[in-house]
Amino acid sequence: MSPVTALPPTEVKRSNKPVYMVLASTAFAAAAQIMMKFGAGHPMPKLDLAHPATLVALALAIITNAPLFFGYSMNAGMAILLILALKDGQLSILYPIISLSYVWVNLLSMYFFHEQMNFWKGFGIVLIIGGVGLLGKVSSRE
Amino acid sequence: MRTPISSIFLVLFASVIGSFGAVFLKLGAERLRYGFKHILNAKLVTGILLYIGSSIPFIMGIRNGELSVLYPMVSLGYVCAMVWSRLFFKEHLTPGKLGALAMIIAGIVCISSGGR
């Protein structure tokens, strides 16, 4: 046995930290979606590109629309976490993990918008959690 | 509540723009390895602008219709992002990743059909 192979296997274990950061960002994303749905219900001025003044009116309406504003802020928090995760992680692993926010959105929609839970939604939630779990496993193996 | 087809198309359009946003975020984020002072680089800013830009058709889309039907349409973006990571970052599309993506898309389809 050569001395090289006798050395303990220096297994390069990829850190799962980027995965956990994206998991946290999904909570922000879900909160943002709920906020934006609340915000989208507010009356908004029509945007007419032929009249630039309507753009200003729309921008003002967005800034003064508190739920929409908080929705954007949550998205900013989500983006910062995602950027820091993408620094070291693979896009093909991290981007699909964002889908976990569907799970949160569905659960939160039941509470806030009284949307109904049923078998298919429940099954979909289980599949998404399974898929995200599988990505976590892929990430720790590579 | 009915979900109009125009809303579905707006959300699909937003998701493709968002997937390009992710590509630029990744390109820009990699610059951060050389120090946090690189936080303001053109690629990262482009990524953020695409991300913000994608929210405009998204908001226009979700104004009419059920969130639990429209939100899953963003899944097109996950497929695009998978293709872009192979094309632009030479990441390996392993069976595990593709299986996970298939599970996630199936889950998203289940949720959207359950929303009707």
In chain B, % of residues over pLDDT 70? 95
What is the per-residue pLDDT for B51? Answer: 84
Q: How far apart are CA A76 and CA A96, in angstroms?
A: 19
A105 touches B at CB < 8 Å:
yes
What is the per-residue pLDDT for A12? Answer: 45
A31 touches B at CB < 8 Å:
no
Q: How far apart are CA A33 and CA A54, in angstroms?
A: 25
Parts of chain A with a pLDDT under 50: 1-13
Which of A19, A84, A86, A117 is the best residue to mutate to test the B interface, defined by the most B CB atoms within 10 Å of its own CB? A86
What is the per-residue pLDDT for A14? Answer: 60
Looking at residue B93, the DSSP 8-state letter turns out to be -
What is the per-residue pLDDT for A101? Answer: 86
- Taking only the tens place, the pLDDT of each residue in B1-46 is 677 889 989 999 999 999 999 999 999 998 888 877 777 889 999 9
State yes or no: pLDDT of B66 exceeds 60. Answer: yes
Inter-CA distances, B20 with A1, A45, B83, Å: 50, 29, 11
pLDDT tier at B115 (50, 70, 90 boundaries)? low
Domain of residue B90, residue span: 5-114
Please write down the HEC assignment for all residues of A31-98.
HHHHHHHHHHCCCCCCCCCCCHHHHHHHHHHHHHCHHHHHHHHHHHHHHHHHHHHHCCCCHHHHHHHC
SS3 state at A141: helix
Nearest to B48 by CA among B72, B27, B70, B75: B27
What is the nearest CA distance from A79 to chain B, expressed in angstroms? 8
CB atoms within 10 A of CB A77: 16
Q: Which residues of B touch A142 (CB under 8 A)?
A: 94
As for how many domains chain B has, the answer is 1
Q: Which long-range contacts (CB under 8 A, 24 or more apart) does A44-48 make?
A: none
CB atoms within 10 A of CB B6: 12
What is the per-residue pLDDT for B108? Answer: 86
Q: Which residues of B touch A91 (CB under 8 A)?
A: 22-23, 26, 81, 84-85, 89, 91
**Six token digits for residue B39:** 């936080």
SS3 state at B18: helix
State yes or no: pLDDT of B84 exceeds 90. Answer: yes
